Structure 1
Amino acid sequence: MTTHNELRLLPWSGADGKPCYLSTEDSGGYLSRLADNAEALQLEVAAELVEHALEVLGDGAMEPNELRLLAMDVTGALRDVRRVAISRGRRLPPTDPPSSEGGDEGPRLPAAAFG
Structure 2
Amino acid sequence: MRADELLQTHTLWHGDTVLLRLAGELDLATAPLAHQAVTTALSGRPRALCLDLTGLTFCDGTGLRALNRLTHRIHTTHTSLHLTGLHPNLYRTLGLLKTASSWTPTALLH
Interval containing the TM-score (normalised by the shorter chain): under 0.3
Larger Rg: 1
User: Which structure exhibits the higher relative contact order, with contacts defined as CA atoms closer than 8 Å and separated by 6 or more residues?
Assistant: 1
More strand by share: 2
Taking structure 2 as the reference length, the TM-score comes to 0.28
Larger helix proportion of the pair: 1
Q: How high is the TM-score relative to the length of structure 1?
A: 0.27
